[in-house]
Chains A and B, each alone.
Chain A
Amino acid sequence: MRSTHQVIATLFGVLAAATAWAAPADGDWTMPSRDYAATRYSPLTEITAQNARSLHPVWTFSTGVLGGHEGQPLVVGSTMYVVTPWPNVLYAFDLAREGYPLKWKYRPNVSGTAIGVACCDSVNRGAFYVDGKLIYNLLDGHTVAVDAASGRELWNTAIADVGSGETVTMAPLIVGDKVIVGASGGEFGIYGWVKALDLATGKIVWTARNIGPDVDMQVHADTFKPAYDHGADLGASSWGGDGWRTGGAPVWGFMSYDPQLDLFYYGTGNASPYNPEQRVGDDKWTASVMARRPADGTLVWAYQFTPHDNWDYDATGAMVLADLTVGGKTVKALVHFDKNGFAYTLDRATGRLLSAAPFTPVNWAHSVDLATGRPVLDPAKQTGLSHGNVKNICPSLEGGVSPSSPPAYSPRTHLFYSSTNNMCMDYAAARASHLKGTPFVGVNAPYSAGPGDYLGSFMAWDAVSGKKIWENKEPFPNWSGALVTAGDVAFYGTLDGWFKSVDAKTGKVLSKFKVGSGVVGNPMTYRGPDGRQYVAVYAGFGGDWALIAGDARSDDPADVRGPADPVKSIARHTSLGGIIWIFAL
């Protein structure tokens, strides 16, 4: 007979498991994209299109860190949790006290070497809260679990090898007792992967490559059913050689999960090197969406947005799960805004393409063939060493939208909200040699402004019709994530440092405030201990812009650069520096 203690322990175990699966309380924001469907939609209604004009800042805090502040805070009950870029400090603010003083801060020992191995600034895309723990990744290839009450480190697991070009910037996904993580390194010729760690101990439970032979990819002939491709070892045979061994396919975006289908979804990054003539074939499964089982990593289906990636079109942007009405029928859809400039709607059970339409100026492909799932290419925009300097390809390799800038979906307006970029590029490929620990790129690709008198925008998108409903053009590429609420207000920040609230139905700007540095993070909203609705966002220019707009930096007297095309005036409006902002009515 079991003892009472055993019964209670079992009950607690069941309760803990139930908590891990439940939707967050309506005033909380416990996971990076707020829910498993990655909608960044909040049911809070205090802030509306009618009253948002009186939004104003009520609190700020300097993180003390200069790297690009991507990601978003979490709020659980009366505590706000914030992860900074390298050195990946974790702050816990007490929202129940005046001035929101810290409960604790956690300062892991993160190697500075990782800064230069990370392709594009020392960013971090945030933590995931579950069962009293905060789980997040460190730039130097570790995953940590921290006790939410005390700030004490519970475990710290090495998951990636900086010496091989792997760094970690993504926010983990936690499903049940599995912590799912992946590595950046598409510019270093990594052999891209996802891994699952045990939530209780941090031990690595399974590893699945994104490219390579089936045995490495957790592909099994009887369960792998991609909609358009057939055959064994596609992740190796589609490379025309063994280029998959250094083929990239990093993981650095936001993941989603469908509990009914028991599939988690994520996008893979670019193929390495950027010179496509060094890897003949489709190079599966780079630039793809992957649907896997959390329990053992089994790949159930995959779909490649950009076969034989010629343009560094990572598909690491969020896969948003929404049930859409198409032709009178409800479809379990997956919607994705790709770097390649097309917005895709797929059946998330099968991976079959339902629609694809450009959301920003695109010229590398004319369209996407729904019968084959393949893009209809413009041969004049194919790149490679033998093509010389290919001029005016749109979008640029910064993407029609950055995967760092996740969209939002409102079940009230049935619209998706996303930042966009309007830039093009020239692409001169060069032969790249693989030398472990150094970049594996092989291109010179200067950017230019796209057509029209704007460089970016924030837009509302109808994924059923494949049409833009409204668009707010911005003078600079737009790099923030989106937030939408049940008050029918959408929120975004701009690269030149404005934080805006807009009417979700029309795009009309309701409020704006200059937040001290360019916004590359993602707004979120929560209900405070006082019952009021708040909106929080990071300011903190950086990410790719720390590289491109070197003149916006002020911290390094030994590295002085002039203004860069096509953002010659951005340094007039912003410099670096992380600030957390909280707004309220």
Chain B
Amino acid sequence: MSAPIHECRVASLVPCVVAAVLLAACAREAAAPAKESAAVPPGVAYESHITAGGLTPPGGTLHNPHAGDAGVAKNGAQLFTTMNCDGCHGADAAGWVGPNLGDGRWHYGGSDAEVFSSIYYGRPKGMPAFGGALGAEGVWTLVTYLRSLTPPPDVPTESWQN
């Protein structure tokens, strides 16, 4: 038996607050059909999750309405500064007290939906939940910026021999 997949989109041009309401509605919609449990969360699985018995639990999926949009990415770069993201993650998201977000390596997954979840709901060790302040539209704008960063080649070796 495959897990039910529910998709919904948050409109890209609505104000943040409205977008947040829509997102909540989306979450309810995602959860509702799982009749056996009204409390199934709309959480987004990230890539390093393992599943007991190999069975993926039902959950929602999210799609970035701005994926690949260079103009939105540029706005996101501005938002990265005005929302003080650079205060922890450094200029150009290259890392400071918070991790480097441009190296192609991720704690909680690097897909648009996974990055959305990290920003919208926050993460342990001090990453604030920005969903309340930014709404879904603002968070998607940041996601679009971060996903536009081109990670350098992943070279796991640092050498001092020469």
Contact = CB atoms under 8 A, between A and B. Distances in A.
Contact of B97 (A435, A547, A551, A562): A547
Given A433-B84, A560-B105, A571 B158 contact: yes
B54 interface: no
A559 B125 CA distance: 14
A561 B103 contact: yes
Nearest to B156: A560
Interface residues of B, number: 30
Interface stretch (B2-10, B37-45, B87-95, B139-147): B87-95
Interface stretch (B12-20, B28-36, B126-134): B126-134
A385 to B, nearest CB: 12
Nearest to B161: A572
A115 B87 contact: no
Interface in A536-576: 546-547, 550-551, 556-563, 569, 571-572
A438 B128 contact: yes
A99 B87 CA distance: 45
A488 interface: no
Interface in B81-111: 81-88, 91, 94-100, 103, 105-107
B82 A572 contact: no
Contact of B87 (A187, A557, A562): A187
Nearest to B106: A558
A121 B98 CA distance: 10
Given A561-B95, A563-B158, A116 B83 contact: no
A439 B105 contact: no
A132 interface: no
Nearest to B82: A433
A113 B158 contact: no
B84 A559 contact: no
A438 B103 contact: no
B53 interface: no
A112 interface: yes
Given A438-B87, A560-B103, A113 B133 contact: no
B125 A572 contact: no
A116 B105 contact: no
Contacts of A136: none
Contact of B96 (A547, A556, A572): A547
Nearest to A187: B87
Interface in A431-470: 431-433, 435, 437-441, 444
Contacts, number: 81
B99 A559 contact: yes
B125 A439 contact: no
Interface in B57-99: 81-88, 91, 94-99
A561 B94 CA distance: 8
Contact of B128 (A114, A120, A437, A547): A437
Contacts of A187: 87
B97 A113 contact: no
A545 to B, nearest CB: 12
Given A187-B87, A433-B82, A547-B97, A117 B158 contact: no
A444 B91 contact: yes
A90 interface: no
A49 interface: no
Given A438-B87, A551-B158, A572-B160, A560 B100 contact: yes
Nearest to A559: B99
A44 interface: no
Contacts of A435: 83-84, 133
Contacts of A438: 83-85, 87-88, 128
B160 A116 contact: no
Contacts of A439: 84, 86-88
Nearest to B87: A439
A118 interface: yes
A290 interface: no
A440 B95 CA distance: 17
Contact of A112 (B91, B95, B124, B160): B124
Contact of B99 (A121, A433, A556): A556
A116 B100 contact: no
A117 B126 contact: yes
Contacts of B133: 435
B84 A116 contact: no
A114 B156 CA distance: 30
Contacts of B125: 112-113, 115-116
A140 B82 CA distance: 26
Contacts of A440: 84, 87
Contacts of A551: 158
B128 A115 contact: no
A433 B133 CA distance: 13
A569 B87 CA distance: 25
A439 B95 CA distance: 14
A186 to B, nearest CB: 12
A119 interface: yes
Contacts of A433: 82-84
A557 B91 CA distance: 21
Contacts of A558: 99, 105-107
Given A432-B84, A440-B84, A559-B99, 17 more contacts: A113-B124, A113-B125, A114-B126, A115-B126, A116-B125, A117-B126, A118-B126, A120-B97, A430-B81, A438-B85, A439-B84, A439-B88, A547-B97, A560-B103, A560-B154, A561-B94, A561-B95
25 contacts: A112-B124, A112-B126, A114-B126, A116-B97, A116-B98, A118-B97, A119-B97, A120-B97, A430-B81, A431-B82, A433-B82, A435-B83, A438-B128, A439-B87, A547-B96, A550-B100, A551-B158, A557-B105, A558-B106, A559-B107, A561-B95, A561-B100, A561-B103, A562-B158, A571-B158
Interface of B: 81-88, 91, 94-100, 103, 105-107, 124-128, 133, 154, 156, 158, 160
The 10 closest A-B pairs by CB, nearest first: A116-B126, A439-B87, A559-B99, A438-B84, A558-B105, A441-B87, A115-B125, A558-B107, A572-B160, A439-B84
